[in-house]
Amino acid sequence: MTHPILNDALFDAMKTSVLPTEEAESLPPLCYTDAEFYQFEKEAIFSKEWLCVGRETWAAHPGDYFTSFIADEPLIVARGRDGVLRAMSSVCQHRAMLVAEGSGKARAFVCPYHHWTYALDGSLASAPAMEKSCKFHKENFNLPVFALEIWEGFVFINFDQNAAPLAPRLTKVSEVLKGYNLSQAEGEKPTEELSYPWNWKVMFENNNDGYHASKLHQGPLHDFIPSELAEFPDDLPDNTAGYYRTNRTLHPDAAFNATQRAVFPIFPDLTADERHRMVFANVPPTLSLVMTTDSIIYLILRADGPESHRVDQGVLTTKQAKSDPAYQQKMAMSFLAASEIIDQDLHVDEMVQIGLRSRFAPRGRYSWQEGAQRLFNTWLVPRYCDTWNKLKRKDFTEF
């Protein structure tokens, strides 16, 4: 098999993207547009890394389940009768029909096509009219079950059963998030699945980018968090599974609404210094967090093509927030402001994707305020290069 796009020159060129920020340049544009590269990325990233699929509270009780879809893989996350949370494929092992959609409560998963029935742990419980099939044994046709880990209340799955645990490689990120008590924060499950016609990395980079804040978002809804007050860590370990940036604010307890100030209860464990900044934390390739002193916006990005992805977007607050009689009105006010900012970002993301298809698309240089982009690159590029080297040694037989 020949690979006109994938070659040593491409991966050698990526090495400039992990230089110090003042020397680095962005990834080659084809990494955001090319179908062949997306297939490679499914092997290099999505088949090996921990992927966020939701919050643990979305399946809090036995029988609760929710479904997801990422990098062409339909998934079920279900709480078994034994109380254990499991992640498994939603693909029936008979004829590939999906055995579950949406979310809800179930005693079992019944394939609507031929009524093969699976227990909540993925084991095949019933396969009607299969008694005449030679050498058919139910135990050989269970739903594939994946590795699962909970981090800060978020559910992560991994298709690689031998993957290194996630949490030990997120200690630095967890330290920065400690005051938010994220695992105990509460919020409704998103009811709308968002779908966008641009590469998942375009959106991930925009979420990480402090450089554009004082330009694209200038005005009363964002001016309290200026780009020049962005700060980037320099002590993340080489094996980190995530990264973050912080941004000082012009006044404490700043928030994205017309008042510029927190309207929900403050996360009580935040220090005085932490109340004077925001945190933007990221666990690629799927989870991005925007953290203010009274609320947390999370985005779960789910790639589904070279130039498209889906997003689950939600808001978390303290447990006490909902006891406020004006909770819904305050949330609506905050959502109105956040929506105006998000709409600006979405328009830029769409236009960037168009630009990346151009023959004139550059490998741009970074401002110091784009330090998070370089951190993203240092996560991506070694994984790309490592997979490419392995594929070469195996003569492409696994690609």
Q: What is the pLDDT of residues 304-352, one digit of tens each?
A: 999 999 999 999 999 999 999 999 999 999 999 999 999 999 999 999 9
pLDDT digits (tens, 9 = 90+) for 260-281: 999 999 999 999 999 999 999 9
Q: C-alpha 34: how far from its chain's center?
A: 21
pLDDT confidence bin for 1, thresholds 50/70/90:
very low
**Cα separation, 252 vs 258, whole angstroms:** 15
For 171-379, CATH gives: 3.90.380.10
Task: State what percent of residues in the chain have pLDDT above 70.
Answer: 98
Indicate where the chain has its CATH 3.90.380.10 domain(s). 171-379
The helix or strand, by DSSP H or E, that contains position 344, with its residue range, turns out to be helix 327-356
Q: For residue 295, how many C-alpha atoms fall within 13 Å in the half-sphere facing its CB?
A: 22
pLDDT confidence bin for 252, thresholds 50/70/90:
very high
Joined together, the tokens standing for residue 286 give 């799927």
**Cα separation, 117 vs 141, whole angstroms:** 11
pLDDT at 395: 61
Whether the pLDDT of residue 387 is over 90: the answer is yes
Q: Going by CATH, does the domain composed of 51-158 fall within 2.40.30.110?
A: no
Indicate where the chain has its CATH 2.102.10.10 domain(s). 51-158
Alpha-carbon distance values, 100 to 91, 105, 130, 240, 253 (Å): 9, 11, 22, 34, 42
Whether the pLDDT of residue 18 is over 50: the answer is yes
**Maximum C-alpha span of the chain:** 74
pLDDT at 392: 87
**Cα separation, 351 vs 105, whole angstroms:** 41
